[in-house]
Structure 1
Amino acid sequence: MKLQPDHLDAPSILGYGPGWIGLGNQGVAEKIGHSIVIGSRGEKFAWDCTCFEDLTAAHFDRLAETRPELVIFGSGSRLRFPPPAFLRSLMAARIGVETMDTLAACRTYNILAGEGRNVVTALLIEPPDPQGV
């Protein structure tokens, strides 16, 4: 059986913690402290939202423009589903959507990007709780 190596050109999520993720690509690592969209074909752009309540249909319309097979939505520290109306442009373009908490979305993105899949993850990075709760 022939084995294929992981797709090494895709950006990888190297670590995560409250209020940040670590992103690496071709030996360069950076710590990111804001919501972000990352794609296996090199897409990377800030996602203008700091909490789940900031999200609108326009946030998801922008994801549809990247034309992936699948969007993985990381909804923050807990699992929250966007209203179906927000996903209308993704559904119209026949783009799959999976929702999970941000940490699970990071792991899932790495697996699928490593397999060479055309996947985009939209990660809601919430500011850390100042009281540590």
Structure 2
Amino acid sequence: MVRLNEMPFEDAVPIDGYGPGFFRVGGKLYQGAVICLSAEVTLWSGLTDRDALLALAGKIDVLLVGTGAEMAHIDADLRTALEDLDIGVEAMASPTACRSYNVLASEGRRVAAALLPV
């Protein structure tokens, strides 16, 4: 298991850690894929669940997509649909997405992380 460094957060809940098949967010354990948005964490079905990501329109400026243990590209149609809703999209390995989310959320940015487990 990997633990992330604690940082000051205003309204956002930090991603505390992750491991095989789980994430710890704000001290709570979540099995499987999740979407982290400010103080809200929801279970997510993964990249085929486009509606959950498109529903973030108007709530965020940037979506970090954690693609699991390794960096992978997301579907071009999904990227285009999100960008058409004025959501910037960055795909990266989930550990990197967790760290990036914590930094951006601690700065008060309008960010969400959609994370596939490692």
- Structure of larger gyration radius: 1
The correspondence for 2:108, drawn from 116, 119, 123, is 116
Write the distance in 1 (CA, Å) between the matches of 2:44 and 2:79: 16
Q: Deviations over 1:8-58 (max 9, x none)?
A: 32011111122211110xxxx111121000112x23211113xxxxx33xx
TM-score for the superposition, normalised by structure 2: 0.84
Residue aligning to 2:40:
43
Query: 1: distance between equivalents of 2:78 and 2:85?
Result: 13
* Counterpart contact for 2:19–2:117, Cα < 8 Å: no
Alignment of 1:63 onto 2:53: yes
> What residue in structure 1 maps to residue 91 of structure 2?
99
Contact 2:44 2:52 in 1 (8 A): no
Unaligned runs of 5+ in 1: 50-54, 127-133
**Structure 1 position 33 matched with structure 2 position 25:** no
107-116 vs 62-71, which moves further: 62-71
Contact 1:80–1:101 (Cα < 8 Å) also in 2: yes
Structure 2: where are the runs of 5+ without partners?
Answer: 1-6
Identity of aligned residues (%): 35
Name the stretch that deviates more: 74-83 or 62-71.
Answer: 62-71
Conserved? CA contact 1:60–1:89, under 8 Å: no
Query: As a proportion of its length, which structure holds more strand?
Result: 2
Query: How far does the alpha carbon of each residue in 1:103-126 deviate from its partner, in whole angstroms, 9 at most, with x for none?
Result: 000000000000000101000115
Shift of 1:86: 1.9
How many Å apart are 1:87 and its aligned residue? 2.0
Query: Which residue of structure 2 lines up, in the alignment, with residue 79 of structure 1?
Result: 71
CA RMSD of aligned residues (A): 1.7
Matched residue SS, 1:108: helix
Give the structure-1-normalised TM-score: 0.75
Shift of 1:66: 1.6
Match of 1:7 in 2: 9
Between the aligned partners of 1:9 and 1:77, the Cα distance in structure 2 is: 28
